[in-house]
Each structure stands twice: as structure tokens, then as C-alpha cells.
Amino acid sequence: MDKDVLDATPTMIHNIPQPIFEEYIADKLKFRVEIRKNHSFLELEDFGDHVVTTLEDKNDGSRYRVRSKHVVACDGAKSTVRKFLGIESEGENAYEMMMTIHIDADLRPVLQDRPGMLHWVLDPSVSGFIIAYDLSGNQVLICNFDSDRYPVSAWNEDLCRRVVDAAIGDSVPYPILSYRPWVLSRQVARKYRSGNVFLAGDAAHSFPPTGGLGLNSGLGDVHNLAYKLAAVHQGWGSNSLLDTYELERRQVALVNSQQSVKNGKKIFGFLRTLGITDLDVNVARENLWRRINNNDPEIKKLIDEGVEGQREHFDNLGLHIGYVYGQRIMPENASIFLPIVIPGARLPHAWITTSSLTLPPPINSSYVTELRKKEIELRRFSTLDLIPVDVFTLIVGYHYSDTWSKHLENAKGHLASKMKMRIVVHGKDFEVIQDNYNWVDLMKLDEGQATLVRPDQHILAVLDMDVGAEGIVATMREHLVI
């Protein structure tokens, strides 16, 4: 990613080790949510209007029950809840056997002036990649392995060390913190909902890490589900609204899982192009060097195409923020993202300033080293910040704001009072200050169009002036299924 991505989205993709991310989330939630570690799901019973879940405190083996209106199962790819409910998955079981080895090495002397975040290892003795969370210490090597030659039971610290040494290609001391085999597979649950129980994250879908789409897909799930659950709990949305969770999110998982498989296949295909899959290590290495250093235009072309073919693997903004709820298509190219203003799409981003609205804390873009101080100052608030997590927001232009305000006030009189709706006016409440996509034109604010945005930042409806209050009410009722 380069700084231009900040025209499309307020923050770049970040590389954060999962344990650190989980600690961060736990810290943020500590006064709102009780997190019980080492407590395990055993079974549940759904009584229609509530669920009783039986859990085990693994610290002392005691069992207890929890009564709740709903259960959201985020218990990972091997989800016990999914299995308990008998929900099948679609997908393919095994593409490759993979090993993740977590080490704590100082790789800076090895890499010197070529530091990176992701290092591909193209060697016959080990092929895979090293993710460097910190080049001075904290990396994982992820590689495929031949399970006939090295069955899972044969793996121990010595074998891990041989593989890591081969990957680094230099003598570097390090402890092995952990190693874990896993299967490169693609699984998407056939159902995301069973009564009052919902699957989210890897429990609903797991796919190869080739593309880095797993965690964001899970976050997207709960972003979609949370306000719908709130609607039902607070009485302004019907139980059927919860069915839209699966309708919207499952399609995203299908697309992301297929792309992740495609990326994985392309990278292994590229290894074959380089000739390094020969069983004889010396032959394979010779192949590699001969092909890389070859002046034959045909071979050069193949290698160039192989490299270019990896683009979608690493540049996949179209998948991260380009999906449109309600559309059932596989994007032609994962790298292409173009903001659009249609129902189901994410509200397009532009940088804004405001003197009257209370927004979330400002974004600190100073991590983008190419940005000058002035450019960082212009990149503090996004149009996405206009959408509070518990409010439906109508975005309109200044010249049409009086009419739209009246429409909205009238509409609210016909909708549940607990449901929050508000209007924000471009030219009064906020100004667009930095934008390469002509956000105001895209939103047709100068033509009187209003955009109604859901609490999860996706567009619910694009409304013309003549729909009046009735149009807003009808749109909300259809969405909330009331």
C-alpha cells in the first residue's frame, strides 16, 4: 500500500500480531464486558425466547449454565457450537499440510537494507513465508510440508529448527516459541443462524491465510450483526431482521474464501514455474538460479507474469471494502476498488472537518511516513466517522437540508422512539477537505439526493426529495422487517 490508499479508506491495512490485538481489544472492553478465560462451551438448549448454555470452568472442572436471549459463537474454525448444532460447511478439505513456527530471532543483520513485513522463502528445502511482526524479535515461519515424509508426529523442536535455519539461510540464534500444524482448507458454514444462535468469524468461515482476509471477515460479521441484535433487544427490529445477517455476510465469506484459495494456488503454481519443486534439492536450486538469471525472453515473460499474478494476493482492497450487500458476484479483480453510492455498498470515504459534530477520536495518520505534517493534519476525520454505531444517519446537502430535516422529523413520528436517527448536513455540520473521488458529486448532494446509512456504515437507501417522510418510513420498515 502507498499513501494514495488513504483516498479510499481512512487507515491502511495493519500488520498486528493476533495476541497483541486480542490484548488490545480486551483492554478496551474491560469495563463493559466480562471475559472468562479457560471456560469452555459444552452444550446449549434453545427454548425459542431464550437460550441456556452450559459451560465448563476448566480451572476447577465445575459446570454452570448461562441464560441469554441470543448466543454468538466465535469459537474458531473447529467451532464446537457449530458441530453441536449440526451445521455443515461447504468447501474443500485439504489443499496442503502447513506448519506455523513461532520464533524470536533478530533478523535485522540478515536482511540489512532489505527490511520487509512478509518474506517469501523460495527454496526447495523450505517454501513458505516469514511474517515479521518485529524484525528484531517475533516472527512466524509458515510453510507447507510433505506429510508422507514428515508426518505430524515426526515434528519436534529439532526438525522445526532445521526448517527455520533453511528459511533464514544464515546462522542466527533464536528460541522456538511454538509450532503448530494446520490444514490449508476452505470452509464456509451452510447456515450462519440456528434459532437464537449465530456463528461469526472462523466459526462461520475459515480459509487459507493467503490474502490475509480471515480476521477482517470476522470483524465484518459482527459489525453487521451487532446493530441487528440491538434492534431486536431494544424492540425496534423484528426477529426476521436477524436473517439478513446470513444473507449479507455469507456471500462475503464465499468470495473471500475463493479468492484466498486462488491466491494459494497461484503462489504454488509460481514455485513450479521457478522449477523449485524438483525433489532433488540441488537440481531444484540450479533450476531456480538458471531461471532467475536467464535472459531467454520466454522465461523472463513467464516469471514476470508469475510475479504480476500475485498482485491480487497482496492488493485486495476491493475485497476488504468493496463488497456490496445484496450482490452475488465474484469480483473480476480483487485489487480494484471504486467507491459507489448504491444500497449495500460501504459509505464512500473522504476526509472531513467539523466544528459542530462530536466525532470519535481523530485518526493519527503520522505512521504514513510519506505524508507531510500538513497532509497529516488534513487526514484526521473521515465521512465514516459521521456514522455512530447505534444510529441511522441521513446525509444531505446544505441547500436541501430544511426539507430533509422536516421529512426525517415526520418519519421519526412513525417509527419506534428507541431507534436513533439523525441528519448530518454537508456545508453546515461538516465539510469535505481532502478527496480524490469527488465525494459530494458521488453523493449527488447538490442535486438534493439523500443517503441513508446504517449503523454499520453500509448504505441502506439512496433517496430522492420526492420520497418524503413516507419514503423514509417505508425504507426503515422494509429493512427492520416490521
Ligand X SMILES: Cc1cc2nc3c(=O)[nH]c(=O)nc-3n(C[C@H](O)[C@H](O)[C@H](O)COP(=O)(O)OP(=O)(O)OC[C@H]3O[C@@H](n4cnc5c(N)ncnc54)[C@H](O)[C@@H]3O)c2cc1C
Which residues of the shown chain bind ligand X in the complex (CB under 6 A)?
Answer: 18, 40-41, 74-76, 80, 100, 142, 182, 201-203, 209, 212-216, 218
Cα–Cα distance measured from residue 127 to residue 142, given in angstroms and rounded to the nearest whole number: 9
Non-local CB neighbours of 319 within 8 Å, separated by 6+ positions: 211, 213, 255, 256, 259, 331, 334
Cα–Cα distance measured from residue 31 to residue 25, given in angstroms and rounded to the nearest whole number: 12
How near is the Cβ of 28 to ligand X at its closest, in Å? 15
Between 86 and 173, CB nearer to ligand X = 86
Q: What is the DSSP string of 285-345?
A: HHHHHHHHT---HHHHHHHHHHHHTTHHHH--HHHHH---TT-----S-TT------STTS
How near is the Cβ of 296 to ligand X at its closest, in Å? 36
Helix (H, G, I), strand (E, B) or coil at 215: helix
Between 251 and 260, CB nearer to ligand X = 260
Between 201 and 397, CB nearer to ligand X = 201
Between 250 and 412, CB nearer to ligand X = 250
Non-local CB neighbours of 385 within 8 Å, separated by 6+ positions: 10, 352, 359, 360
Between 120 and 437, CB nearer to ligand X = 120
Cα–Cα distance measured from residue 382 to residue 42, given in angstroms and rounded to the nearest whole number: 43
Helix segments in 186-213, DSSP class H: none
**Exposed, middle or buried: residue 204 (CB in 10 Å: 0-12, 13-18, 19+)?**
buried
How near is the Cβ of 338 to ligand X at its closest, in Å? 23
CB atoms within 10 A of CB 374: 7
How near is the Cβ of 232 to ligand X at its closest, in Å? 22
Between 1 and 281, CB nearer to ligand X = 1
Between 58 and 69, CB nearer to ligand X = 58
Cα–Cα distance measured from residue 362 to residue 79, given in angstroms and rounded to the nearest whole number: 37
Between 15 and 136, CB nearer to ligand X = 15
How near is the Cβ of 26 to ligand X at its closest, in Å? 11
* CA distances in angstroms from 455 to 103, 128, 462, listed in the order given: 41, 40, 15
How near is the Cβ of 11 to ligand X at its closest, in Å? 14
Between 75 and 248, CB nearer to ligand X = 75
How near is the Cβ of 268 to ligand X at its closest, in Å? 16
For residue 212, is it left (φ>0), alpha (ψ between -120 and 50) or beta?
A: left
How near is the Cβ of 126 to ligand X at its closest, in Å? 15
How near is the Cβ of 182 to ligand X at its closest, in Å? 6
For residue 435, is it left (φ>0), alpha (ψ between -120 and 50) or beta?
A: beta
Q: Do residues 193 and 246 lie in contact, with contact meaning Cβ atoms separated by under 8 Å?
A: yes
Biggest CA–CA distance in the chain, Å, is 78
| Cα–Cα nearest to 115, from 130, 135, 129, 131 | 135
Between 182 and 437, CB nearer to ligand X = 182
For residue 17, the number of C-alpha atoms closer than 13 Å in the C-beta half-sphere is 15
φ/ψ of 295, rounded to 5, equals -95, 0
- The residue number with the shortest CB distance to ligand X is 201
How near is the Cβ of 17 to ligand X at its closest, in Å? 10
**Exposed, middle or buried: residue 58 (CB in 10 Å: 0-12, 13-18, 19+)?**
exposed
Between 60 and 298, CB nearer to ligand X = 60
Cα–Cα distance measured from residue 184 to residue 177, given in angstroms and rounded to the nearest whole number: 22
Strands (E), 58-207: 62-68, 71-73, 89-103, 118-123, 126-132, 139-144, 176-189, 193-194, 197-199, 205-206
How near is the Cβ of 133 to ligand X at its closest, in Å? 10
Between 85 and 450, CB nearer to ligand X = 85
How near is the Cβ of 425 to ligand X at its closest, in Å? 36
